[in-house]
A and B are shown apart, each in its own frame.
Chain A
Amino acid sequence: GQSLEQPSEVTAVEGAIVQINCTYQTSGFYGLSWYQQHDGGAPTFLSYNALDGLEETGRFSSFLSRSDSYGYLLLQELQMKDSASYFCAVRAGYSGAGSYQLTFGKGTKLSVIP
């Protein structure tokens, strides 16, 4: 099976930078995704890393180190609207019915304060 660890809560100041870490244990690893979910809303896709390194999309960046089974989401120039839960999710599996299964972490609740 898979297991993921991420902090349960993070608080940061508007305009600042925050990093949300995710460590995972899995077999058949394909890649790491990040999703954002506002209270009462649907999870929305932010990024996907299959290879080591940093992927940048606007104010958000995501990093993966396959050898360390570790990744992080970096949010820059924080805005109040960034207050939400952020989930890392591992895409893993083998050929067959269970292939490419997406397993989510428990989420990190980010609070952005003025």
Chain B
Amino acid sequence: EAGVVQSPRYKIIEKKQPVAFWCNPISGHNTLYWYLQNLGQGPELLIRYENEEAVDDSQLPKDRFSAERLKGVDSTLKIQPAELGDSAVYLCASSLLPSGGNEQFFGPGTRLTVL
């Protein structure tokens, strides 16, 4: 069974540029999460989807961040415009059970560097 797939793995951009990250969750997992992880810190939830509905986006900086999950499968996270402080690893995760369940499966992440 394939795991959570993310692309790109690495992205370097200049500040004020837009950037997008893509995630394909494990087949059959209806719940999808986007996390941000800074160096030496734990993952922090940005947004959680149940199918195509964003059920928790309270931590998403909506002035510059947006996300979508069309058809309830793949998801895209966008930043526009990027700022220096956005440099971090963006992790996507999915779970089988609704509302988180007990186990989340993480992708390898996209390491974003904003210059």
Chain A residues packing against B (C-beta within 8 Å): 31, 33, 41-45, 48, 50, 87, 89, 91, 97-107
Determine the distance from Cα of A103 to Cα of B104 in the docked complex, in whole angstroms.
Answer: 12
> Is the beta-carbon distance between B106 and A44 smaller than 8 angstroms?
yes
Set of chain B residues within 8 Å of A43, measured between Cβ atoms = 43, 91, 93, 106
Q: How many A-B residue pairs have CB under 8 A?
A: 55
Chosen A-B contacts, 7 in total, with CB atoms closer than 8 Å, are: A33-B103, A43-B43, A50-B102, A89-B42, A97-B56, A101-B56, A107-B42
For residue A57, give the distance in angstroms from its CB to the closest CB of chain B: 12
In contact, B100 and A42 (Cβ under 8 angstroms): no
Q: How far is the CA of A41 from the CA of B108 in the complex (A)?
A: 6
Which chain A residue lies CB-closest to B59?
Answer: A101
Residues of A within 8 A of B105 (CB): 45
Question: In the complex, what distance in Å separates the CA atom of A106 from the CA atom of B42?
Answer: 5
Query: Which residues of B lie under 8 Å from residue A87 when comparing CB positions?
Result: 42-43
Residues of B close to A105: CB separation below 8 A: 42
The verdict on B40 contacting chain A, using a C-beta distance below 8 Å, is yes
Given A97-B55, A101-B100, A42-B109 contact (CB < 8 Å)? yes
Report how far A62 CA is from B99 CA in the complex, Å: 23
Since A31-B102, A45-B102, A102-B45 are in contact, a sample of 14 more A-B pairs with Cβ atoms closer than 8 Å, ordered by chain A residue number, is A41-B108, A42-B109, A43-B93, A45-B105, A48-B102, A89-B42, A98-B58, A100-B99, A100-B100, A101-B45, A101-B48, A101-B100, A103-B45, A106-B42
